[in-house]
A = this chain, B = another copy of it.
Amino acid sequence: MTDQETFLSDASALLGPRGFTRDPDLLEPWLTDWRGRFTGKALALCSPASTQETAELVKLCARHGVPIVPQGGNSGMSGGATPDGSGEAILLSLRRMDAIRDFDPAARQITCEAGLVLQNLHDAAQEHRLRFPLTLGGKGSATVGGLISTNAGGTQVLRHGTMRAQVLGLEAVMADGSVLDTLIPLKKDNRGFDLKQLLIGSEGTLGIVTAGTLALVPEIAERRVVWVGVTSLQQARKLLLHCEATAGDALEGFEVVPAHSLAAVLDHLPDARAPLAEPHAWNALIELVASPSEAAQLGALCEDLLASAMEEGLLEDAVIAASETQAEAFWQLRDSIAPAERAIGPAMQHDISVPVARMADFVEAASPQVEERFPGTRAIAFGHLGDGNVHFHVLAPSGATRGLWENSEGKAISAFVYDLVTEWGGSISAEHGIGQIKRDELGRLGDPSALALMRAIKHALDPRGLLNPGKLVPLAQDPAIP
């Protein structure tokens, strides 16, 4: 037997028929990322049933020098879970490990395995009148392990933070097959480096997250969803500050939608209606929430907030959703922007952040710069103003050919946008991560000191480079740099 055959035979014996396959039909759905940007090959699809099996598999891989690409729900945005084209790596699916190991509703803590799907986590929390305060479009497929490994964001970051803020502890299999276990929910623990923080957001390049202990919050007893028309992003920013000062922790979300995006959504969704009578240059979608103990005051809080905002000239018009159905309809408008714009034509999408205080200035300055430099394009920014994170999309000139344009002018546009963001002190990846798609840009634009540290840490924890090779960590430009 060749070395590879020995590995495959051992892996197959370790994982059994449910945990190991080389059947091309079974592999195929997992070899392309869900945005369809990357397709790779894999030696086998390995789906261990336990942390122990995962650790044994990683040891096998270490022994035979087999690279490992960990994968959760395969709904990442940056190709971080798609293997390269060499076919040398195994695809390590965590989806079979989806147990809830422990649930302490009084302490509001849940320990679950990496493969648990976000929607199922939401459901489990809800059964105990709790909630997991992170959600995103892919909640039906995204897994806890993937959410941790990518430090996922979403629409509730303003109030609750990203995934990092929800992770109380985690379990991970390291490159040598040893298991790091910090699952135990200690609120305070100062025994040295906080190793879990290093794994959160490391996209499987330092270790494979197999379980997490997560914080839950009380269920929402009452919410108010408000659609507001404003004159400019600057006004939206002032309204946001007003909401933060007035509503405090009740402010759960603050999203902005430009007129162009709302119009695109209304075209795209036949049954959708504009919330306000007149169009406005910008719209804000505001959600206020209250736990059971604060529910009684929420209505008054919301009305006072809007009245005082109106008085101070911070909005043009506003409507409070009259029912849960209408509230959902408002959110659907927001959540349909990306598909609505995809329907119009090709677009380059940039998930960027700048300091919250500078976001309005940035959008106002960058949009005309892009449109001028690339005639016929249109720059659209929408999303999480409260987090300083907008999705900055550049729509192709009419007539551009989908599939071709993205790889020609589109690439130049992205580089231009990332240059601008870097100039403004921002991040080229606010929430989607680096994966394959932004690795080289990170190498080009990243702070050299931070890049050197990342390379040193990667080398220290995965000296043979077997964990998710080619993702996140840009290769050193200068081989003298570690």
B355–A184 touching, CB < 8 Å: yes
Spot the interface stretch: A64-72, A342-350, A426-434: A426-434
Spot the interface stretch: A93-101, A137-145, A441-449: A441-449
| Nearest CB of chain B from residue A189's CB, rounded to whole Å | 4
Residues from chain B with Cβ under 8 Å of A434 in the complex? 190-192
List residues 202-229 of chain A with CB under 8 A from any CB of chain B: 202-203, 206, 218
Number of copies: 2
A249 contacts B by Cβ under 8 Å: yes
Given that A174-B453, A248-B218 are known contacts, is A162 also in contact with B188, CB under 8 Å in the complex? Answer: yes
A388–B162 touching, CB < 8 Å: no
Given that A191-B429, A192-B473, A427-B191 are known contacts, is A461 also in contact with B456, CB under 8 Å in the complex? Answer: yes
Bound-state CA distance A413–B194 (Å) is: 28
Q: Which residue on chain B has the smallest CB distance to residue A439? A: B192
| A428 interface neighbour in B191, B193, B425, B426, Cβ under 8 Å | B191
Given that A107-B357, A181-B447, A297-B297 are known contacts, is A388 also in contact with B192, CB under 8 Å in the complex? Answer: no
Bound-state CA distance A448–B195 (Å) is: 13
List residues 79-132 of chain A with CB under 8 A from any CB of chain B: 104, 106-107
Spot the interface stretch: A45-53, A149-157, A312-320, A402-410: A149-157
Bound-state CA distance A426–B186 (Å) is: 7
Bound-state CA distance A454–B354 (Å) is: 32
Bound-state CA distance A434–B429 (Å) is: 35
A470 contacts B by Cβ under 8 Å: no
Q: Which residue on chain B has the smallest CB distance to residue A206? A: B193
A321 contacts B by Cβ under 8 Å: no
Q: Which residue on chain B has the smallest CB distance to residue A200? A: B194
A178–B449 touching, CB < 8 Å: yes
Bound-state CA distance A425–B102 (Å) is: 15
A377 contacts B by Cβ under 8 Å: no
| Nearest CB of chain B from residue A171's CB, rounded to whole Å | 10
List residues 229-271 of chain A with CB under 8 A from any CB of chain B: 241, 245-249
A187 contacts B by Cβ under 8 Å: yes
A425–B249 touching, CB < 8 Å: no
A437 contacts B by Cβ under 8 Å: no
Task: Contacts A189-B429, A190-B429, A193-B206 known; list 5 others, CB within 8 Å.
Answer: A186-B427, A188-B353, A192-B454, A195-B450, A195-B454
